[in-house]
Structure 1
């Protein structure tokens, strides 16, 4: 059951307080997604919204922002909706979908003790479990990853979603945190929508084996790339891409 967690700058419902505090620190304190240079009323895509902390962060900084938030895990999506209601937030369209290179249905592996790690690529989580077991006690790692469940979730191409919402003229910020499916999300954009994207920030893991392809794709679309390795684990990267004007 979701519990209310209080932070210095906001509050939210969460299934895992420890995970929520970790994500809050990343977003609100460490500012891993730098949105300081956005226009006053940006249009933002939140791919892998989880319980909504990034959307709350954007609306805190830019009250006039419009956001489309995607979260395929049913339980996380419900908590996301509760958090938007908790803060009376408007102009955030929450969709119970994942993003991919093509529309369809996939199995999502859901971790109730660590919902932000839920994924359609569970093979990577086996390696993450091994890493967690090295960094922590074996029992603690098992607790976080045990009792996994599988759900059928709907996936959609981002361009298909955007084509049904033609009122925007630019995509100021595309945030992607999708547990191994980052390249698939990017491949779901058509050229006409790529031309509207100004900034992309995503998290990826070397074990996924797609970092070079991600960076190559972003470079080919006219972005300048910066990367920074996460301080909390080797091989995790934040990739920031900005449009060359």
Structure 2
């Protein structure tokens, strides 16, 4: 894959960050406070594992709180933006170390689906994304807050709307395979010489169960908090919550309204 041409974008608070596509940042900064709900917090010098770091907005926020962040992102283009943002971080106490890896249930090399126009949703499990592509495009065009200039679409005849959705879905959700290295949480704790993890954040587009399966039972007590975005396919939400409770966590969860087409939920787990 050729070296990506990164874009420099301004966030609502005025900060500048690097990204692959500027349109992908829309709404993302507003999502970051959601990770810190239900009592989840970090203190200066705490260790945070950011699994599925994307361009690093959560990692930057955690580092600004003084945390020592290990950010994992397997997609080469997105990782380049993550690296650029981590290098530009100027916190006094916090630090971000980047890793061009995915985390999963076992160490291996696996094929991921990379979406060049929507790099943030690149994933190892793409079937749900392809299945819901048209519904997502339709919802975006129907929402004036997301597409204020698409009033023509909302007024168009049904046949024209259908053709527009088909064309946009075909372009936006075009994809290609990318081979990525996968490690496990437990192996990374050993490699990084980490004794205690204050927070494990997981946002891996459908592979959250795989990440949790990569934590050996003996290592689980070393993790104090987990925040995960869970795609509720085949009862995954219940399975994830039950697993976390079995491992000693108190669990809360809420649906993610902006990801309703993928039945996505936020899960917060604390000891």
What TM-score, normalized to structure 1?
0.90
SS where residue 232 of structure 1 aligns?
helix
Q: Match for 1:24 among 23, 29, 41?
A: 29
Count of aligned pairs between the two proteins: 236
1:91–1:184: structure 2 CA closer, same or farther, 3 Å change rule?
A: same
Query: Counterparts in 2 of 1:151-230, with a 5 A limit?
Result: 151-166=178-193, 168-207=194-233, 209-230=235-256
Quote the Cα distance in structure 1 between the aligned partners of 2:73 and 2:51: 7
Contact 1:119 1:178 in 2 (8 A): yes
Contact 1:180 1:208 in 2 (8 A): no
Quote the Cα distance in structure 2 between the aligned partners of 1:161 and 1:214: 21
Q: Give the corresponding residue for 1:50.
A: 54
Contact 2:63 2:95 in 1 (8 A): no
SS where residue 46 of structure 1 aligns?
strand
Q: Give the corresponding residue for 1:83.
A: 85
Q: Deviations over 1:85-104 (max 9, x none)?
A: 12246732211110111010
1:143 paired with 2:145, answer no
Cα RMSD (Å): 1.8
Contact 2:226 2:270 in 1 (8 A): yes
Quote the Cα distance in structure 2 between the aligned partners of 1:142 and 1:18: 17
SS where residue 131 of structure 2 aligns?
helix
SS where residue 143 of structure 1 aligns?
helix
Q: Note the residue ranges of structure 1 that are not aligned, 5 or more in a row.
A: none
